[in-house]
């Protein structure tokens, strides 16, 4: 249902839960967009990586940094309280993503602090279900409209795969229709967040949808030429 994969070494104010039913008037960012393959919603290298994200920060920060392991840019989310520092998309709480691709993938760095992310989905009965993954809980907790899942990360950079269709079916006995909202809390570094239609083999994933952990003796790729921190 949720798969964590460590990236191999290479040479080169919380939004409240929305109503149970979905109003027909809710606008959507991607519902009328052709969806196939990969659909990215965050890329740290982009000119405006947080363009479709709202930032909420209390006793922390959300900024773009250069990560030493990949010698390239990442979005760093740090906060003393995981519940009060986060990014969320869409920006408008009355809007929905409308993404029908069933796999959510985060390319994320484990910085050995508490970390949470969550995704809200719509099922075929018209209910909104929220799946919340955290690295400081050992058991799964299921409620009628929300489910909290344990998450174990390897050291360094990881790829987290969340099968939304499988989770919705196994936990609630309903069918996944679309993803409505993604919210990523402190504490982590993000390289890419995207949806895809299936789990692809490593050779099928475009290079810029992956992250390469570099050996210290090797030269960094050209995109890592940017030095210092910058705000997105």
Could you read off the pLDDT of 165-196 as tens digits, one per residue?
999 999 999 999 999 999 999 999 999 999 99
Contact in structure between 103 and 164 (CB atoms under 8 Å): yes
Residue (of 14, 1, 17, 26) closest to 144 by Cα position: 17
Higher per-residue pLDDT: 24 or 173: 173
- Could you give all domains of the chain from N- to C-terminal order, each with its CATH number? 2-16+38-216 (2.60.120)
- Residue 7 confidence (pLDDT) above 60: no
CB-based contacts of 91: which residues, under 8 Å, 6+ apart? 52, 53, 54
Average pLDDT over residues 189-215: 89
Report the SS3 class of residue 221. Answer: coil
Distance CA 203, CA 219 (A): 23
Token digits for 220? 């960094």
Element (H, E) at 153: none
- What confidence score (pLDDT) does residue 46 get? 83
Q: Name the band, by pLDDT with cuts 50, 70 and 90, for residue 13.
A: very low
Share of the chain above pLDDT 90, in %: 68
Q: Name the band, by pLDDT with cuts 50, 70 and 90, for residue 57.
A: very high
Going 161 to 89 to 193 to 79, the CA torsion angle's sign is negative
- What confidence score (pLDDT) does residue 32 get? 78
Distance CA 124, CA 172 (A): 11
User: 89-123 pLDDT, tens per residue?
Assistant: 999 999 999 999 999 999 999 999 999 999 999 99
- What confidence score (pLDDT) does residue 216 get? 44
The CA-atom distances, in angstroms, between 222 and each of 1, 45, 145, 219 are: 36, 12, 45, 9
- What confidence score (pLDDT) does residue 1 get? 62
Cα pseudo-dihedral 86, 90, 92, 93, rounded to 10:
-70
């Amino acid at each position: 249902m949720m798969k964590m994969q460590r990236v191999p070494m290479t040479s080169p104010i919380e939004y409240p839960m929305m109503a149970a039913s979905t109003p027909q008037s809710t606008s959507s960012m991607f519902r009328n967009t052709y969806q196939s393959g990969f659909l990215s919603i965050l890329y740290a290298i982009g000119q405006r990586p947080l363009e479709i994200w709202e930032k909420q920060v209390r006793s922390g920060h959300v900024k773009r940094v250069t990560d030493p392991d990949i010698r390239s840019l990442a979005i760093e989310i740090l906060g003393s309280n995981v519940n009060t520092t986060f990014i969320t998309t869409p920006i408008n709480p009355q809007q929905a993503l409308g993404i029908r691709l069933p796999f959510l993938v985060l390319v994320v760095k484990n910085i050995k602090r508490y970390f949470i992310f969550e995704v809200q989905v719509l099922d075929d009965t018209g209910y909104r279900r929220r799946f919340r993954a955290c690295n400081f809980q050992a058991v799964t907790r299921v409620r009628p409209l929300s489910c909290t899942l344990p998450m174990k990360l390897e050291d360094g950079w990881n790829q987290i795969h969340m099968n939304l269709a499988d989770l919705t079916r196994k936990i609630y006995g309903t069918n996944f229709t679309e993803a409505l909202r993604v919210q990523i809390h402190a504490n982590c570094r993000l390289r890419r967040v995207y949806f895809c239609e299936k789990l692809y083999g490593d050779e099928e994933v475009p290079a810029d949808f992956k992250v390469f952990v570099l050996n210290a003796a090797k030269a960094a790729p050209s995109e890592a030429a940017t030095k210092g921190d910058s705000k997105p």
